Structure 1
């Protein structure tokens, strides 16, 4: 899988996380904050081999920018 960096959180310094990547497989890879709250996880049905991360609303702009790679 090849990753193309789309955007890092401009309000997160010095780490620049969360981060959005576009793949060459027509999908996204999102780096974010690990969700560890058990009440939150209990509301989800996460199968083995999957996980979830949290990102802020301000990161949504990068999904649209990343779509331009497919055009």
Structure 2
């Protein structure tokens, strides 16, 4: 598996998070974000045991090639 970093949150100066990665084997995105631990928010979701949820800032959408046609997985930032 080869992960390619597409971009990190420009407003996060610490720990390079959140970050968007592209997996060229599965053709999927891997998202690094803030773990949701608030019980009230989690209670509103139906999360299977094998999944997790993260919070991801809207401003990070710019790193998805489908949103920003100028960028692509081959253009690792």
TM-score band by shorter chain is 0.7 to 0.9
More helix by share: 1
Mapped contact 2:6–2:73 kept (Cα < 8 A): no
Could you tell me how far apart the structure 1 residues matched to 2:30 and 2:72 are?
16
- Cα deviation, 1:11-60, whole Å, max 9, x if unaligned, reads 10122210000011111100000000111111111111110111111100
TM-score, normalization by structure 1: 0.86
Could you tell me which runs of 5 or more consecutive residues in structure 1 were left unpaired when the two chains were aligned: none
Gaps of 5+ in 2: none
- Say yes or no: does 1:27 pair with 2:28: yes
Conserved 8 A contact 2:4-2:73: no
Count of residues in Structure 1 that have an aligned counterpart in Structure 2: 70
RMSD: 1.9
